[in-house]
Amino acid sequence: MKRSMKFNHLLPMFLHLFLFSSCFTFGQTIESPPTRVPVLDMDGDPVHKNRLYYILSVNGTVDEGGLRYISYKYCKYQIIQEKLGTPNGHFWVFSNLADHTTIDLSNDISIGVGNLYTVCSKEPVWIVEQNGYVDGDVSYGHNADDTKFKIEKDDKGDGYRIVHCGNSNGCKNVGVVIEKNGRRRIALTESPLVVKFKKFGDFSS
């Protein structure tokens, strides 16, 4: 009888502790992992890393073709925008720094000059030079941040913009600078070059 009375006396205390613990647990905010949004190619498929793609202008006017590279030193390339005639330009390969098979919005990526590993000791990648131009280089002697880019959705349409966020000054758009000889060089600019991505070859195999 005394044990029963003692238990009844302790019951309100146990109930209070249970309710306090439940409120604390349910009140906690459980953070969900960030949502991944893949970059899509012109067919509506996710862009995959280590596959080849053309980078084309969304505008597609007579002066705005795809991106290509031209050699001006051993394994060092200027990246330019092609004019009408060969609108696709050359193909490129994307690599991300995360363990994902697809390229997602806002992820750090590198952009390689596709299939030049047979010529150079390592694959040339996009690098921001001190003058603001974006070249293809094997990255020796460069800071790792010089090779980091992101792909963002363009706010004004269905295309994408490529940005460089490798320093403390925030992100800068990758766009086009027209030189005196008419060459359209790829560089960091105020206005972005709005682009889309087209598969090179057949991915089904």
**Full set of structural domains in the chain with CATH:** 51-199 (2.80.10.50)
Distances (CA, A) of 29 to 18, 32, 111: 19, 9, 38
Q: What are 163's strand-pairing partners?
A: 150, 173
Is 138 within 8 Å of 149 (Cβ atoms)? no
What pLDDT is recorded for position 7?
A: 44
What pLDDT is recorded for position 116?
A: 54
What pLDDT is recorded for position 126?
A: 93
d(CA 27, CA 20): 11
What pLDDT is recorded for position 5?
A: 47
**pTM of structure:** 0.78
d(CA 49, CA 36): 15
What pLDDT is recorded for position 158?
A: 77
d(CA 10, CA 17): 11
Number of H helices, E strands in the chain: 1, 12
Tens digit of each residue's pLDDT, the chain (205 residues): 444 444 455 445 544 554 444 443 444 455 555 688 999 999 999 999 989 999 998 876 656 789 999 887 888 899 999 876 556 888 899 998 777 899 999 999 999 987 655 567 778 899 999 899 999 888 666 777 888 999 999 988 779 999 998 766 688 999 999 999 889 999 999 999 999 999 987 655 4
